[in-house]
Amino acid sequence: MTLIEKVKNGEKCSEIEKIAEHENVSIDNIREGLLNGKIVIPHNKNHTSLKKFMGIGKGLTVKVNANIGTSFGYDDFEYEIEKFNTAKAVGADSVMLLSTWGNLDEQREFIIKNSDIPVGTVPIYDAAVISYQEKKNVVDFSEKDFLKIFEKHAKQGVDFVTLHISITKDIVKKLKKSQRIMKIVSRGGSIIAGWIIKNNLENPFYKYFDEVLDIAREYDVTLSLGDSLRPGNLFDSLDRLQLEEWFIFEELVEMARKKNVQVMLEGPGHVPLDQIETTVNLMKKYGKNSPVFLLGPIVLDIAPGYDHITSAIGAAIAAKSGADFICYVTPSEHLSLPNVEDVKKGVIAAKIAAMAADFSRGKFVDENYKLAISRKNLDWQGIKDVSLDKEIVERYLNARPYSGKGCSMCGPFCALKVVEEYLEE
């Protein structure tokens, strides 16, 4: 029985109760959000180690996801575990394991077993990796492999999956003739598009979507509808093909809700500042107000190495416009596989964006007020206690120490000390 079905039957759900307490919202609001599709709570029934339940959607705080995973030539899974632990330590609400090399089954089993936060995956990667390891082309797998691989992930305990369902045979045909600068930047979307072209068949995830929903319902896996045609640069944003994929989202959401399967939508990508609000509004419209899960979005293409910043700017505007779930972007995006420090910077940048939007809605007020008072009192320990990154606060204080009251920025000319001496005496 899915969480939605439990709510429909009037059952008490510990997941909802814990989220309501943590978010300081009513249980009834969350139950209503689940029933109308505006809230999802990813929780596979086989993920028994999940303790920190994540509610995503209307009226709840904006959540942050971190991606980890091996790659060809960089398959040290122990290092990915370090990245996983770092992401959790600095506040990631969920993690997606996107490995494309090594023993993928064992990696998934380990992360799910040892994760107290929700875990997501992209099942189609497995099919491509297996084909490549068997010296085949990355699109050499059968229709049945699509469903088998998804079911394997679901059975292992994955809480939410990205499935690129909406890239249809018709869209691929149009894509080949399009003037897009970068036709597809979605790894999963490109694999499926290649499969469609090679086999001259419909996307199996779309063709057999009823079976996909049956698997998702059995294990209560939340579906994240992957945006295969998300723009990979600012000039492809909101083009006709991207919109066509969103039209299909509408159809898929309706089918999922009829089967009591939780669903959210994934979005771009690279989006100019002036198009972010429109992008979120359109996704909400065609997704029937389902939660929106955005990668960034990145608002400037010419800052490689700083994309945790370009994406945090976009994420803050997107979250203020109604986005519910932000996937972090690290400084190494577009350049290399991220290291541990990149993961930390990516999560914190995304958290800043998410919490900035939340503060505008009355969330995280106490924490910011405590820091303001601590800063007024030049209370460095108080500042550190409520800071997102306590280590960096201490590092900067120690790097340029100051013997008096205050810090090395202003020394004896500290504005707060002048105010204390003359205006508040």
Cα–Cα distance measured from residue 279 to residue 238, given in angstroms and rounded to the nearest whole number? 7
Q: What value does the mean pLDDT take over residues 185-194?
A: 96
Closest CA to 256 of 207, 217, 289, 228: 217
* Angle (deg, nearest 10), helices 307-321 and 276-286: 50
Looking at beta carbons, which pairs linking 129-137 to residues 24 or more positions away fall under 8 Å?
A: 129/100, 129/101, 129/104, 137/198
CATH fourth-level superfamily of 61-360? Radical SAM ThiC family, central domain (3.20.20.540)
Reference 329, options 355, 305, 356; nearest CA is 305
Q: Are 256 and 205 in contact (CB under 8 A)?
A: no
**Average confidence score pLDDT of the chain:** 96
CB environment 366-387: b (16+ within 10 A), e (fewer): eeeeebeebeeebeeebbbebe
User: Tell me: the pLDDT tens digits for 208-255?
Assistant: 999 999 999 999 999 999 999 999 999 999 999 999 999 999 999 999
Q: What is the pLDDT of residues 13-67, one digit of tens each?
A: 999 999 999 999 999 999 999 999 999 999 999 999 999 999 999 999 999 999 9
Inter-residue contact 298 to 309 (CB < 8 Å): no
Check whether 333 has a pLDDT greater than 80: yes
Q: Mean pLDDT throughout 152-175? A: 97
120 sits in which H/E element: strand 119-121
HEC sequence for 291-350: CEEEECCECCCCCCCCHHHHHHHHHHHHHHHCCCEEECCCCCCCCCCCCHHHHHHHHHHH
d(CA 72, CA 102): 8
pLDDT at 4 over 80: yes
Nearest alpha-carbon partner for 137 in 93, 89, 197: 197
> Is a pLDDT exceeding 80 seen at residue 425?
no
DSSP 412: G
Residues 339-344, mean pLDDT to the nearest whole number: 98
Query: Residue 419's pLDDT is what?
Result: 87
Predicted structure pTM score? 0.95
pLDDT at residue 394 tops 90: yes
Query: Among 393, 375, 376, which Cα is nearest to 384's?
Result: 393
Give the residue extent of every domain in the chain.
61-360, 365-423
Segment 277-293, tens digit of pLDDT: 999 999 999 999 999 99
What value does the mean pLDDT take over residues 95-104? 96
Share of the chain above pLDDT 70, in %: 100
Nearest to 196 by CA among 225, 176, 182, 226: 176
Q: How far apart are alpha carbons 117 and 132 in whole angstroms? A: 31
Give the pLDDT of residue 54. 98
User: What average pLDDT does range 136-149 have in this prediction?
Assistant: 90
Residue 270's pLDDT is what? 98
